[in-house]
Structure 1
Amino acid sequence: MEPSDASAPDALQLTALAMTNYGHFTTMRVEGRRVRGLSLHLERLRRDCGVVFGTELDPDQVRARIHDALAGAPDPVTVRVTVFDPGLRLERLGPVAHPQILVTSRPAAAEPPPLRVRTAPHCREVPAVKHTGLFGALHERRRSQSAGFDDALFTDGRSAVSEGPTWNVGFFDGTRLVWPAADVLPGVTMALLQRHHTGAQHTERIGVADLAGMEAAFATNSAFGIRPIASINEVTYDADHAVLRELRKVYESISPEPL
C-alpha cells in the first residue's frame, strides 16, 4: 500500500470519516518518542488493514506519519493512527481500496481515578478489529454515565463479561489473574501483561454472578495503562490492592520501543 499523507485532512477526508466511518485505528501513549508495545500496535494496524481493506500496510509509513505529527507536540502525548479510504462511498465499498493514514494527537491525560462501572449487554461488531464503528459502545458509555457510573462493562447473551467500550478487563481471584474468555479486542496492554507478568494467569468464562468472588478488578488500555476498577454494579473492590501495584510495576518495567 502507498498511503497518501492524511496528516492534515481536507474536507473530502473528513466527509469520508463522518459519512462512511469505515476504517480502523490504534491509539498509543508516546513519551520521549518511545511507545510500550509499539510492535504490537504496528502489527494490529497491519492485521486489521488486511481484514478491513484487503491490502497491506507499510509500518515504516506509519512511523513516518507519527514522526510528522509529533513535531511541536507536547510530551507525553496520546497518538491515534486511523486508516481509512476517502475514495470509498457508503453505497460502494467493494472497489479496490487505497487506504490513507491519518495521525492525530492530544496531550496525554493524567492518571485517572478508579472506575465505577455497570454491566450492559452489548457486543461490538467484528470485536477482534479495532474499527471506527464505535457508536454502540459509546452509546452504552453515555447511558452508564447518565445513570451515575463512569463507564460500561459489556456482557454477552449469557451474562458473561467481555470488555469495556475502549478497554480490556482483568480480575484477580486471590490466586491468579483471570481474563474473560469472550469475543474481545486483543488489547496491547493486556497482551503485554500476559507476556510479562510471571504470576499465575487463566482465561475463563466470567459470569456476572462470579464478580463477587473476585478480590480485584482492573481495566487496561494503552492510553492509561492499568486503571483500578472500584466497583461493578453493587460489587466493590479494593482499588489499592497489592496485585494492582504489582501489575503497575510490571507494566512500567517493560522497555518502550523507539519510533
Structure 2
Amino acid sequence: MATLNGKPVSSDALLALALVNLGHFTSMRADDGGIRGLSLHMERLAKDCRAVWGTDLDTSRVRTYVRQALDGRTQPCVVRVTVYDPTVDMGHPAGAGEPHVLVTVRGAGTTPPAPLRAMSVPYERDLPEVKHVGLFGALHARRTAQLAGFDDALFVGRDGLVSEGGTWNVGFVDQDGSVVWPQAPVLPGVTVALLRQHADHRDATITLEQAEGMAAAFATNTSVGVRALAAINGTELSAEHPALGRLRETYLSIPGERP
C-alpha cells in the first residue's frame, strides 16, 4: 500500500524519488495500532524537513496519513513516511521546496530476530544526523558484508571509530555490564532515545578493537527493537548476555502511541 498526501500514488509521482533520490523518511513499527516513540518520529520528520527542504512540516497531517494507512490492519507492520518533492529537478534542486508525504506499509518480522554477524566496513554516511533516502553507500556496505558471509555491515569512520550499522544504531555492553553508545556522528535513533529514557547509559568513543572486546553488542531500530550481535568480524560475542534481555524487556514495556 502506498499513498501520497493520503491518496493512491501514481508511478509518475514516484519518478522524482526514484531518479533524483532527494528526501528524508522515518520508519515506525506498529503493534496493535500503537507505535512506540511516535512523537519522537514526528519530531524527527519536522527537524529533517527543515534541514532538507527549509520548510515546516505539518505533523498533524502526517499522523492522519499514518492513521489512514493503519486502518483495518491487525498484524504487526512497519509504516514508512517519506517526505520528498515530486517536482524536484536534478539540475536545480534549490527550486524544490514543497514536500509531499508518501506513506508505505509492509509486514513486520517477529521480535527479537536472530542474532546477526557484522563485518566492519569503512564508511561514513552523508549528513548522518538526517535520516535521508540516500542509502547507496549503506546498502553497498551491507552487500559487501553479505558477500563476505556476514549479515550486515558495522561502519568504522576514517578516525577509526565505530559509529553505526547499515540501517541501525549499535550499542555495547562493557565488561562491567554497562550500556555504552558510540560517541560518533550517527543518526539519532528513536529506539536509542526511548532506551535512554528508561535505563542508565553512557557515551564513549569506541575503536574497532574496543568493540570486539566488549561483553556484548546489539543492533537497535524500530523494526527489530533490540537485536543481539553474535559476532563482529571474527570475534564472537555473547548473544545471551543478561543485559540484552533487560534491554528487550525495557523496550517492550514502553507503550505505543496512537497516531
Name the aligned partner's letter for residue 86 of structure 1: P
* Contact 2:33/2:74, CA 8 A, preserved across alignment: no
* Contact 1:28/1:222, CA 8 A, preserved across alignment: yes
Q: Please report the TM-score for the alignment, with normalisation by the length of structure 2.
A: 0.95
Q: Structure 1 residues 7, 115: closer, same or farther in 2, change over 3 A?
A: farther
Task: State the Cα distance separating 1:8 from its structure 2 match.
Answer: 2.0
> Is residue 154 of structure 1 aligned with residue 155 of structure 2?
yes
Task: State the Cα distance separating 1:252 from its structure 2 match.
Answer: 1.1
* 5+ residue gaps, structure 2: none
Task: State the Cα distance separating 1:20 from its structure 2 match.
Answer: 0.7
The equivalent of 2:100 in structure 1 is 100
Q: Please report the TM-score for the alignment, with normalisation by the length of structure 1.
A: 0.95
The equivalent of 2:38 in structure 1 is 38
The equivalent of 2:131 in structure 1 is 130
Identity %: 48
Q: Secondary structure at the residue paired with 1:257?
A: coil
Partner Cα distance (2:59, 2:23) in 1: 17
Partner Cα distance (2:74, 2:20) in 1: 31
Name the aligned partner's letter for residue 189 of structure 1: T
Partner Cα distance (2:5, 2:192) in 1: 31
**Over aligned residues, Cα RMSD in angstroms?**
1.2
* Contact 2:89/2:96, CA 8 A, preserved across alignment: no
Q: Secondary structure at the residue paired with 1:55?
A: coil
The equivalent of 1:183 in structure 2 is 185
* Contact 1:29/1:108, CA 8 A, preserved across alignment: yes
> Is residue 145 of structure 1 aligned with residue 136 of structure 2?
no
Task: State the Cα distance separating 1:41 from its structure 2 match.
Answer: 0.2
> Is residue 115 of structure 1 aligned with residue 107 of structure 2?
no
Name the aligned partner's letter for residue 45 of structure 2: L
- Give deviations 1:80-124, integer Å, cap 9, x for gaps: 000000011111111251110010001111232101011001011
* Contact 1:7/1:103, CA 8 A, preserved across alignment: no
Partner Cα distance (2:51, 2:213) in 1: 38
Task: State the Cα distance separating 1:12 from its structure 2 match.
Answer: 2.4
The equivalent of 1:216 in structure 2 is 216
The equivalent of 1:89 in structure 2 is 89
- Give deviations 1:132-180, integer Å, cap 9, x for gaps: 0000100110111011000000000122100011100000102211110
Partner Cα distance (2:172, 2:83) in 1: 32
Deviating beyond 6 angstroms after TM superposition, the runs of 4 or more aligned structure 1 residues are none
* Contact 1:7/1:69, CA 8 A, preserved across alignment: no
Partner Cα distance (2:6, 2:12) in 1: 11
Partner Cα distance (1:165, 1:11) in 2: 28
Task: State the Cα distance separating 1:194 from its structure 2 match.
Answer: 1.1
Partner Cα distance (1:137, 1:6) in 2: 30
- Give deviations 1:51-99, integer Å, cap 9, x for gaps: 0000001111111111222234442111000000001111111125111
* Contact 2:119/2:232, CA 8 A, preserved across alignment: yes
> Is residue 5 of structure 1 aligned with residue 5 of structure 2?
yes
